[in-house]
């Protein structure tokens, strides 16, 4: 299996770590604080790229959706048709 980057990024916002498929600014490793992001749990939130925010708990709904996306990406096509 080869490495392929996930189509989502983790972003602390509103007291939890969420995931988003929104494009990050060019060359940015994270969404800058204050950036409005649409999350996998279907919320529009403001990113908090502070050091402590990365230690927050993960949003359960984003986690479930991120795992679903990852499984889809890494499941061979023959497995998906079963």
For residue 20, count other CB atoms closer than 10 A to its CB. Answer: 24
Beta bridge partners, 13, equal 16, 47
In a domain, 47, yes or no: yes
Matching residue, tokens 């096509």: 77
Q: If you average pLDDT over every residue of the chain, what do you get?
A: 89
Domain region containing 54: 9-74
Domain count, the chain: 1
Is 12 in contact with 48 (CB distance < 8 Å)? yes
At residue 54, does pLDDT exceed 50?
Answer: yes
Matching residue, tokens 């949003």: 59
Task: At 20, list the tokens.
Answer: 């988003």
Alpha carbon of residue 26 to chain centroid:
17
pTM of model > 0.85: no
At residue 78, does pLDDT exceed 50?
Answer: no
In a domain, 81, yes or no: no
The candidate with the shortest Cα–Cα distance to 13, out of 32, 63, 29, is 32
> Band of the pLDDT at 72, cuts 50, 70, 90?
confident
pLDDT, tens only, 22-50: 999 888 899 999 999 999 999 999 999 99
Of all residues in the chain, the percent with pLDDT exceeding 90 is 70
């Amino acid at each position: 299996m080869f490495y392929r980057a996930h189509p989502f990024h983790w972003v602390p916002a509103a007291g939890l770590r969420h995931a988003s498929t929104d494009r990050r600014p060019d060359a940015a490793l994270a969404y800058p604080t204050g950036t409005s992001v649409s999350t996998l749990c279907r919320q529009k939130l403001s990113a908090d790229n502070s050091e402590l925010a990365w230690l927050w708990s993960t949003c359960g709904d984003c986690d479930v959706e991120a795992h679903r996306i990852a499984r889809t990406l890494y499941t061979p096509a023959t497995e998906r048709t079963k």
